[in-house]
Amino acid sequence: MDKKLKIYLSFVYLISFSIFIILNYKYISEFNLINVIFLLIVIILVNNFSMFFNSMTEITTSMNLPVLIPAFVVLNPFWVGIIAAIGTIEYTAKNMKFVWYKFLFNRSVFFLAASTAALIFRVVRPILDGDSFPMLSILSAILIYFLINNTLVYIVINISREDVNKFSLLNYFRELSKNLITSYFIGLILLASYINFGKVFFLLIIVLLFIIKDFFYSRLQQMNSYTQIIESFLKVIDSKDHYTEGHCERVAEYTYHLCGEMNLSRAKSERIISIAKIHDIGKIYVDDDILRSSNKLTKQEYSDIKEHTQYGYELLKDIDILNNDLDIILYHHERWDGGGYPEGIKGDKIPVGARILAVCDSLDVMITGRSYKPPMTKEDIIEEFEKCAGKQFDPEIAKEMIKLIKKGFFDDSFKSKEKIREMELSYS
């Protein structure tokens, strides 16, 4: 062991032991066995459950501090220190070597931080909170706890691991402090339940917190894999971008504005926008020559292209988290009047996401033009939507789109009359 580390560890042990002796002497007579044992068991369980959940979710949130908050109030500083030191002992896996000086260091740090914080709490409570709920004094106590605990750990990391990048103390605190605010509020809830409703209720709240945490995390993880899947398929589309030329991404952008205009819920909008990004994924199965052809398509070629909705659906249908949204892909070429494909369903039978997509998809065709027809002007596009509302498009959605266009949302994309005139000449 390095000499510097030896000196530092001895210093921490010594300070911690001195505080232990002083507090022991002062508070030994003040002792509530039931509270001590109860909170000690809770912190041991919570600590080991946290580890279990953390290893599953890779989120490092510690519930130690929230459980210590009620302890600041109901126990004296000596016993707060003791339960913090013992309760945070972690199960050492068989393949991990037990290192006695690390073990002792951790116990000393927890004892020192928790007992000092509890002392501070006792001192500042009458000044800051008086007889009311101890919000401010708890805040002061956890700040002290946080500072002592993390400064001591920061120093030991920097002394013992030469190879590690020496990150600044400020950065280190900034990262860790994100959990501090959550811990504070969770701790206040636990304290209120402990004081007002007793130990059973307190335990129920802890169990509830674990469930909520897990629930939120699995939702978060699901959203992440959703985005990852979409991004991967986007790459596939990009690799064939010679015919789409960013079509899907533009449609997704229009969808974003349209969903906003229609006041759809955020969750629903996000799903429609994500699907919009890959709505023509089925075109990867359509022959390149047909997609690139600038001639009028034959009947057979046109029916091949129409298959892309079905292909897209088939391609993605086995991915569970996309499953509920795939009808948007399948039906994005259906028409309000029933004249679309693949099934010719009409009106409300067409999922709303698909109706939105149909409008945005057509907007892109009108703005950019196709090999057989030039782009349209803003005025023409408005006219086209008015004409097709209730026929090709859901009249309500078409109305919202017209509003958006009139408000100038897509002005950057519209080509001027002169530019289009030039294009028309080259088409003829």
Number of residues counted as binding Fe ion (CB under 5 A): 2
Cβ atoms 333, 312 nearer than 8 A = no
Cα 54 to chain centroid distance, Å, stands at 16
* Minimum distance, C-beta of residue 290 to Fe ion, in the bound complex (Å): 14
* Minimum distance, C-beta of residue 308 to Fe ion, in the bound complex (Å): 6
Question: Which amino acid, residue 367?
Answer: I
Q: Please, which of residues 354-373 interact with Fe ion by CB under 5 A?
A: 361
Nearer residue to Fe ion within complex by CB, 8 or 254 = 254
Nearer residue to Fe ion within complex by CB, 325 or 361 = 361
Nearer residue to Fe ion within complex by CB, 360 or 398 = 360
Upper half-sphere CA count for residue 241 (Cβ side, 13 Å): 13
Query: Residue 20's closest CA among 107, 101, 87, 106?
Result: 107
Nearer residue to Fe ion within complex by CB, 102 or 370 = 370
Q: Say how far apart CA 363 and CA 355 lie, in whole Å.
A: 13
Nearer residue to Fe ion within complex by CB, 361 or 394 = 361
Task: Give, rounded to a whole angstrom, the gap between the first and last alpha carbons of the chain.
Answer: 85
From the list 30-38, 100-108, 275-283, 317-325, the region that binds Fe ion by CB under 5 A is: 275-283
- Computed from CA positions of residues 76, 78, 84, 87, in that sequence, does the dihedral angle turn out positive or negative? negative
- The pair of structure tokens assigned to 291 is 């997609």
* Minimum distance, C-beta of residue 332 to Fe ion, in the bound complex (Å): 6
- The pair of structure tokens assigned to 287 is 């022959």
Q: Which residue has the tokens 């260091």?
A: 105
Q: Say how far apart CA 71 and CA 92 lie, in whole Å.
A: 26
Under the binding rule (CB under 5 A), the answer on residue 400 touching Fe ion is: no
* Minimum distance, C-beta of residue 180 to Fe ion, in the bound complex (Å): 48
Cβ atoms 48, 63 nearer than 8 A = no
Under the binding rule (CB under 5 A), the answer on residue 280 touching Fe ion is: yes
* Minimum distance, C-beta of residue 253 to Fe ion, in the bound complex (Å): 13
From the list 12-20, 97-105, 280-288, 378-386, the region that binds Fe ion by CB under 5 A is: 280-288
Under the binding rule (CB under 5 A), the answer on residue 334 touching Fe ion is: no
From the list 21-29, 67-75, 272-280, 320-328, the region that binds Fe ion by CB under 5 A is: 272-280
Nearer residue to Fe ion within complex by CB, 193 or 309 = 309
* Minimum distance, C-beta of residue 329 to Fe ion, in the bound complex (Å): 8
* Minimum distance, C-beta of residue 303 to Fe ion, in the bound complex (Å): 14
DSSP class per residue in 98-158? P-HHHHHHHHHHHHHHHHHHHHHHHHHHHHHTTTS--HHHHHHHHHHHHHHHHHHHHHHHH
Residues in the chain, total: 428
From the list 116-124, 274-282, 293-301, 387-395, the region that binds Fe ion by CB under 5 A is: 274-282
For residue 343, give the DSSP letter.
S
From the list 68-76, 150-158, 278-286, 375-383, the region that binds Fe ion by CB under 5 A is: 278-286
What are the residues binding Fe ion (CB under 5 A)? 280, 361
